[in-house]
Structure 1
Amino acid sequence: MTTDRRTLLLGGAAAAALAGLPRGVVAQGAPTPGPLDPLFDRLVQAQLRRSPEGATSLGLDKGANADLRAKLSDQSFAGIAAAKAQNLAELRELEAVPRASLTPDQRIDLDCVLYTRRSAARIGQFDFGGSSYGPSPYVVSQLSGAYQSVPDFLDTKHKIDTAADAEAYLSRVRAFARQVADQTARMRHDAGVGVVPPDFILDLALTQMDKTATPSADALVVTSLRTRAAAKGLDPRYGRDVGRLWDAEVLPALTAQAAYARELRRTASHDAGVWKIPKGADFYPAALQATTTTSLSPEEVHRFGLDQARALNARLDAELKKLGYAKGGVGQRMDALGREAKYLYPNTDEGKRQAIAYCNERLAAIRTRLPAVFERMPPYTFEVRRVPVQTEAGSAGAFAQAPAIDGSRPGLVYFNLKDSADWPKFALATTTYHEGLPGHQMESGLALSNTGLPLIRKLGGFSGYGEGWALYSEQLADEIGMYDDDPVGRCGYLVAQLFRANRCVVDTGLHHYRWSREKAVRYFVDAQGDTEGDAAREIERYCVNPGQAASYKLGHSVFVDIRDKAKAKQGAAFDLKRYHAAVLRYGRVPLDVLRQIGDTWVASV
Structure 2
Amino acid sequence: MTTEISRRGALAGIAATSVAATSVAVAARAAVPATDAAALLDRFAWRLLEIGPERATALGVDSGAHAGLRRKLEDRSPAGVAAQRAFLRGALAELARLPRTGLDPTTLTSLAVAESAFRTALDGMALPYGVATIGDWRNTPYGVIQNVGSWLDVPQLLDGDQPVRDAADAEAYLARLAAMPAQLDGETARIRMAREQGLVPPAFLLDKTIAGMTRTIADAAKADGALVGPLARKVAAIPGRWVDRAQGIARSAIVPALERQLTELRAERAVASDAPGLGVRPHGPEWYAWGLRAGTTTRRSAADIHAFGRARLAELQARMDPILRGQGLTEGSVADRATALQHRPGIGFPDGDEGRRQIVAYMQGRIDAIRPRLGQVFRRLTRGNLEIRRMPLAQEPGAPAAYGGPGSIDGRVPGKVWVNLGDPSIHNRVTIPDLLFHEGIPGHVWQGEYAQQLPLIRSILAFNAYSEGWALYAEQLADELGIYADDPAGQLGYLMGLAWRAVRLIVDTGIHAMGWSRDKALAEFVAATGLPRSNAESEIDRYCAWPGQACGYEIGHAEIVAQRDRARAALGARFDLRDFNQTVVDGGNVPLDVLAGNVSRYIGGGNA
TM-score by length of 2: 0.91
Provide the residue aligned with 2:28 in structure 1.
none
Question: 1:449-488 maps to which residues of 2 (within 5 A)?
Answer: 450=453, 453-488=454-489
The structural deviation recorded for 1:101 is: 4.2
Residue 160 (1) aligns with residue 164 (2): yes
TM-superposed CA distance for 1:153, in Å, is 1.0
Partner residue, 2:259: 255
Let me know the Cα RMSD of the aligned residues: 1.6
Per-residue displacement from partner, 1:43-62 (whole Å, max 9, x unpaired)?
A: 01101111111111111111
More displaced, 103-112 or 491-500? 103-112
Deviation of 1:234 (Å): 1.6
Partner of 1:492: 493
Deviations 1:176-231 (A, max 9, x none): 111112211211111000111100111111121012102522532123223322x1
- 1:361 deviates by 1.1
Contact 2:279 2:512 in 1 (8 A): yes
CA distance in 2, matches of 1:558, 1:355: 33
Q: Which residue of 2 aligns with 1:228?
A: 234
Deviation at 1:603, TM superposition (A): 4.3
The alpha-carbon distance between structure 1 residues 585 and 233, as it changes in their structure 2 partners (threshold 3 A), is closer
Q: What SS does the aligned partner of 1:342 have?
A: coil
- Residue-pair matches, total: 568
Aligned 8 A contact 1:377 1:446 in 2: no
Alignment pair present for 1:299 and 2:300: no
Query: Which of 392, 406, 417 is 1:413 aligned to?
Result: 417
Number of the residue aligned with 1:591: 592
Counterpart in the other structure of 1:4: none
1:565-604 to structure 2, matched below 5 A, reads 565-604=566-605
Please identify, of 129-138 and 467-476, the stretch whose mean Cα deviation from structure 2 is larger: 129-138
Give the conservation status (yes or no) of the 8 Å contact 1:377–1:442.
no
**Deviation larger for 297-306 or 595-604:** 595-604
Give per-residue Cα distances to partners, 1:376-416, cap 9 Å, x unaligned. Answer: 11135212222222210111221112110111111111221
Distance 1:287 1:326, change over 3 A: same
Q: Structure 2: which amino acid aligns with 1:97?
A: L
Letter in 2 for 1:223: G
Structure-2 residue corresponding to 1:400: 404
Aligned-partner SS, 2:598: helix
Match of 1:338 in 2: 342
Residues 62 and 68, structure 2, Cα contact 8 Å, conserved in 1:
yes
Match of 2:119 in 1: 118
1:509-550 CA-to-partner distances (Å, cap 9, x unmatched) read 111111111111111110110111101101111111111111
Which position in structure 2 is the counterpart of 1:24?
none
Q: How does 1:268-283 map to 2 (within 5 A)?
A: 268-283=272-287
Are the counterparts in 2 of residues 75 and 182 from structure 1 also a CA contact under 8 Å? yes
Q: Secondary structure of the equivalent of 1:383?
A: strand
Alignment of 1:511-526 (within 5 A): 511-526=512-527
Are 1:52 and 2:53 matched, yes or no?
Answer: yes
Residue 210 (structure 1) aligned to one of 184, 207, 214? 214
Q: Any unmatched runs of 5+ in structure 2? A: 1-33
Matches of 1:85 and 1:35 in 2, distance apart? 22
Secondary structure of the structure 2 residue equivalent to 1:413: strand
Aligned to 2:359: 355
Contact 1:380–1:445 at 8 Å: present in 2 too? Answer: yes
Structure 2: distance between partners of 1:137 and 1:179 = 18
CA contact (8 A) 2:384 2:441 kept: no
Q: Distance in 1 between matches of 2:535 and 2:592?
A: 29
Give the whole-Å Cα distance in 1 for the aligned partners of 2:603 and 2:328.
42
The CA deviation at 1:566 is: 2.6
Aligned equivalents of 2:328, 2:94: Cα separation in 1: 62
SS in 2 for 1:138: coil
Letter in 1 for 2:229: T
User: Does structure 2 conserve the Cα–Cα contact (< 8 Å) formed by 1:465 and 1:588?
Assistant: yes
Q: Aligned partner of 1:319: which letter? A: I
Q: Which runs of 5+ in 1 are unaligned?
A: 1-32
How far is the alpha carbon of 1:476 from its aligned partner? 0.9
Q: Deviations over 1:244-266 (max 9, x none)?
A: 11111111111221122122112
TM-score for the superposition, normalised by structure 1: 0.91
1:44-443 → structure 2 map (5 Å cutoff): 44-130=45-131, 133-214=137-218, 216-217=221-222, 219-229=225-235, 231-235=236-240, 237-443=241-447
